[in-house]
Amino acid sequence: DVKVTQSSRYLVKRTGEKVFLECVQDMDHENMFWYRQDPGLGLRLIYFSYDVKMKEKGDIPEGYSVSREKKERFSLILESASTNQTSMYLCASSERGETQYFGPGTRLLVL
């Protein structure tokens, strides 16, 4: 079975803190993605990566950065957390054009 894991299920941070969300997949997938999900807005793509050290902006990259040093790991970084970044964050991985497999999500609360 494909497994995508995320470092935390729940996280509480303070405004201005630097936040790291980690995602690991075990299927040797080329592509990895970070989404956020907010009520009434659906899943929105923040960043994605199609290879190690490669990254592309998604639809809402502002306030975020990413790192992909190893194929299996894709990190989302909130440089200076703000309250409007309170959300559910989902990581996914896939082969090109194929089904995306999702992690369990991290619910982040920024106070």
Partner 1 sequence: ILNVEQSPQSLHVQEGDSTNFTCSFPSSNFYALHWYRWETAKSPEALFVMTLNGDEKKKGRISATLNTKEGYSYLYIKGSQPEDSATYLCAFSNSGAGSYQLTFGKGTKLSVIP
Please give the residue ranges that form the binding site for partner 1 (CB under 8 A): 4, 30-31, 33, 35, 40-45, 48, 50, 58-59, 90, 94-105
Q: Minimal distance in Å, beta carbon 56 to partner 1? A: 8
Residue among 3 and 53 whose Cβ is closer to partner 1: 3
Residue among 14 and 57 whose Cβ is closer to partner 1: 57
How crowded is residue 41: how many other Cβ atoms within 10 Å of its Cβ? 10
How crowded is residue 63: how many other Cβ atoms within 10 Å of its Cβ? 14
Which helix (H) or strand (E) segment is 46 a member of? Answer: strand 42-49
Secondary structure (3-state) at 16: coil
Residue among 22 and 30 whose Cβ is closer to partner 1: 30
Q: Minimal distance in Å, beta carbon 2 to partner 1? A: 10
Q: Minimal distance in Å, beta carbon 99 to partner 1? A: 4
Task: Please provide residue 84's backbone torsions phi and psi, each rounded to the nearest 5 degrees.
Answer: -75, 0
Task: Please provide residue 91's backbone torsions phi and psi, each rounded to the nearest 5 degrees.
Answer: -105, 150
Q: Minimal distance in Å, beta carbon 109 to partner 1? A: 17
8 A C-beta contact, residue 94 and residue 51: no
Residue among 47 and 81 whose Cβ is closer to partner 1: 47
